[in-house]
Structure 1
Amino acid sequence: MTAPEAPPPPVVHAPVPDDPDAHFVCPAPFDPTAEEVLPEARQKALEAGHWRMVWWKLRRHRLAVVSGLVLIGLYLIVLFAEVLAPYALGDRDTNHIYAPPQRIHLVHEGEFIGPFVYPVQYTLDMVRLKREYTPDTRTPQPIRFFCSGPSYEFWGMIPADFHLMCAPEGGTLFLLGTDRLGQDMFSRLLYGTRISMTVGLIGIAISFVIGVTLGGLAGYLGGWIDTVVQRMIEILRSLPELPLWMALSAAVPVTWSPIVVFFCITLILGLIDWPGLARAVRSKLLALREEDYVTAAQLMGARPARVIGRHLLPNFSSHLIASVTLSIPGMILGETALSFLGLGLRPPVTSWGVMLTEAQNIEAVVLYPWLMTPMAAVMIAVLAFNFLGDGLRDAADPYD
């Protein structure tokens, strides 16, 4: 008895198009070697480097972008303080002591004149022992722009007298008022920006070099070097910062020149601030030193300094930049606090902290509140650095 034959396989008919004259085209077989055609935006994202990706993420953080523009403006003031200030540093007007801020007007009695101020006249109130300033609204005084004004030495080297704006002929231009010596607060604020913002950069440069060097050695080499660095960090972190700043600043002789005192203050700030950065670098290197590319570099004979500098640090350089940006406000606040207490920079050097010493007397603050304007500058700078640092930290996160 023969076995029954297997039924023939079913015939699968391809769908016939409605048009009888049309030709049916079979789909092309899958070719694994064919290149995938990607949208242009996705292709650019795949080909972009690390720093371009960080920049794209940072641009989406609008608050960080605005903060970056504010900081660029502050450092432009650092470069061109003499040109932007209407008065030279140290100029005094004894006829306008504790003068209030003058408002800028554009229209006088319905007629457009342009930026101008009204002259002020003062009378002495013998009851409150306060100068009363009254604007004379009859005679507008136009502000001069791109003009020749008080002479100065640009960056202490090039004699010049060019100013972005100057006081009216025979008048005054006190946009933020004057202090007890009759000095223009707006001009002093611009000059103080140079010192206060520079202290943060120099101090963080010192802290960065020490922190990256010691943290890198501790994280990469380990052993007794790691133990010594860790004990140094713990000792410094256990000390209260403000009393330590005060003690070291008080040790600076008052007879030294202002420039030497300036560098001593920045050195003190940098020497105290490095432990936080060193600990962050150490923890990163402990995680990265076991990677395959580090082992390959070691087998090729690379020295530890080259492995750390050329292979390990670039892998988290964006995080280092964010950490540095977040550390600069501490430097600015430290200099301001020391100068405010009389232990930091001293006149004739002008910084935001030195200017705030005028506001130590509560009576002066109540009667002349414009003496507190340097505090607003400190707040703007600190907030700008913090917001920019937060944006950089979020942009540098590879898992975002």
Structure 2
Amino acid sequence: MNALPPSSGKLVHYVSDAPFDVQSVKRLTPEQERVYLASQWRLMWWKFKRHRLAVVASLVLLVLYGTIPFSEFLAPYNGSTRNTDFIRSPPQKMHLFHDGQFVGPFVYGKDYRLNMTDLKRDYTVNHANLQRIRFFCHGDPYQFWGLVPADVHLMCPADGGTLFLLGSDRLGRDVLSRMVYGARISLTVGLIGISISFLLGITIGGLAGYYGGWFDLLSQRAIEIVHSIPHIPLWLALAAVMPVTWSPMLVYFGITVILGLMDWTGLARAVRAKLLSLREEDYVLAARLMGAGTPRVLFRHLLPGFISHLIASATITIPSMILGETALSFLGLGLRPPVISWGVMLNEAQNMNVVALYPWLMLPVVPVILVILTFNFLGDGLRDAADPYN
């Protein structure tokens, strides 16, 4: 390498007889520096924001999970409050105008008579009975998170009126209020279950792929045994053996543990297969030579290499666990009253005659479908954002 004298004002490198002028190199613009110096997580965030459907799905999930701590406040009624005068009452529509005049949010009252032909209650709208909706009001008393007594609700029916925006069930309980309460159970069962599934899948699959040998052999045989058993009958059997004397909280945790123990095998195999190919890379050898232990090599160097697969697995596993809890509760082998979940509410819709006469009892299936779709859309966006080759 030669250079011109300092008097020339230029430093020229000769590579293969081709001069290279340092001053001719363009400096990076601030926008380019911002991209080239950005961290991996910042790059993932920028790519995720371009996936509009995933962003909308994340906002929807954020709203749904944000209601969990405030279920008692958001629900118009207590989840177990019964109104025997309005059994299986159809939904009441919310209105803002009455006779062309703006009066604020209100519903019309309903009158009913017993049809002696089929012993069914026939409800008719009473347009003369205008019932205003109250906001931030005192209503049914409740125990906030089972600890603090309170009676403040976001909205309440008028004094002496009713507020069944999604109708009532066979015991006169508000369907909307029970759906809000049920979100706390149905949405969190997936988070707890996936925590168990990921803990087992990443640990067992990671050790099997990193060490191999006898541990890999035993873990693969265990996975094959679990896979050979049909999941739905096994779920039903494990849920059926839970003692009927257990409290609703113990049954809830029992269901989450069952769901978590059944869904770790697929993730363990995926983690093992990926680590078998990555453990021979040069950067893994360099980490070992620098004295890094097995946990650091696994969680610091290897797992980030396929974080996109883990994200996709999580967004698929959570809705499958929600569906599992819903199916078990729908069949009467999962959560049982007085626990409120979407599956428990759908248990009342097993009779097709009931569904035909009172279709609003099927409304709890709407949030189940919504959650599954939003998790799938969110998973697509996160997987694309975390994929280093995308």
The two structures have a TM-score, normalised by structure 2, of: 0.93
- Which residue does the alignment assign to 2:203? 213
Deviation at 1:138, TM superposition (A): 1.4
Q: Distance in 2 between matches of 1:276 and 1:35?
A: 51
Deviation at 1:35, TM superposition (A): 5.3
- Which protein is bigger by CA-based radius of gyration? 1
Q: Distance in 2 between matches of 1:321 and 1:89?
A: 35
Q: Distance in 1 between matches of 2:76 and 2:43?
A: 43
Letter paired with 2:362:
M
Deviation at 1:33, TM superposition (A): 7.0
Q: Decide which of 228, 231, 254 is 1:241's aligned counterpart.
A: 231
Q: Decide which of 81, 100, 103 is 1:113's aligned counterpart.
A: 103
1:169 to 2:159 alignment: yes
| SS state at 1:181 partner | coil
- Which residue does the alignment assign to 2:134? 144
1:338 to 2:328 alignment: yes
1:81 to 2:76 alignment: no
Alignment of 1:1-400 (within 5 A): 30-32=20-22, 36-400=26-390
Q: Distance in 1 between matches of 2:251 and 2:365?
A: 22
Q: Distance in 2 between matches of 1:319 and 1:47?
A: 25
1:181-219: CA deviations, max 9, x gaps? 000000000000000001000000000100010010011
Q: Distance in 2 between matches of 1:300 and 1:58?
A: 35
**How many residues are treated as equivalent by the alignment?**
373
Letter paired with 1:67:
A
Q: Pick the structure with more strand per residue.
A: 2
CA contact (8 A) 2:315 2:376 kept: yes
- Which residue does the alignment assign to 1:4? none
Letter paired with 2:133:
I
Deviation at 1:36, TM superposition (A): 2.9
Q: Distance in 1 between matches of 2:347 and 2:135?
A: 32
Q: Distance in 2 between matches of 1:367 and 1:146?
A: 34
Q: CA RMSD in A?
A: 1.5
Letter paired with 1:143:
I
Give the gaps of 5 or more residues in structure 1: 1-27
- How many percent of aligned residue pairs carry the same amino acid? 63
The two structures have a TM-score, normalised by structure 1, of: 0.90
Deviation at 1:30, TM superposition (A): 4.4
| SS state at 1:147 partner | strand
Label 1:256 to 1:223 Cα distance change in 2 as closer, same or farther (>3 A): same
Give the gaps of 5 or more residues in structure 2: 1-11, 13-18
CA contact (8 A) 2:308 2:384 kept: no
Q: Distance in 1 between matches of 2:271 and 2:68?
A: 31
Letter paired with 2:385:
A
